[in-house]
Amino acid sequence: MREKLLCPSMMCADFGCLQKEVEVLDRAGADIFHIDIMDGRFVPNFGMGLQDVACIRTLTEKPLDAHLMIDAPGNYVGLFSGLGADIITIHPEADLHPARTLDKIRNLGKKAGIAINPGTAVETVKELLPLADYFLAMTVNPGFAGQKYLEFTNRKLETLAKLKAEYGFRLMVDGAISPQKIQELFRLGVDGFVLGTSALFGKGEDYQTILSRLKQL
Q: Which residues are catalytic?
A: 36, 174
What backbone torsions phi and psi does residue 102 show, to the nearest 5 degrees? -65, -40
Burial string for 102-130 (b: 16+ CB within 10 Å, else e) reads bebbeeeebbbbbbbbeebebeebeebbe
Residue 67 near residue 89, CB atoms below 8 Å: yes
DSSP, collapsed to helix, strand or coil, labels residue 46 as: strand
Rounded CA separation 133/90 (Å): 12
* Closest to 42 measured CA to CA, from 66, 71, 68: 71
First-to-last C-alpha distance (Å) of the chain: 13
Residue 179: phi and psi, rounded to 5, are -55, -40
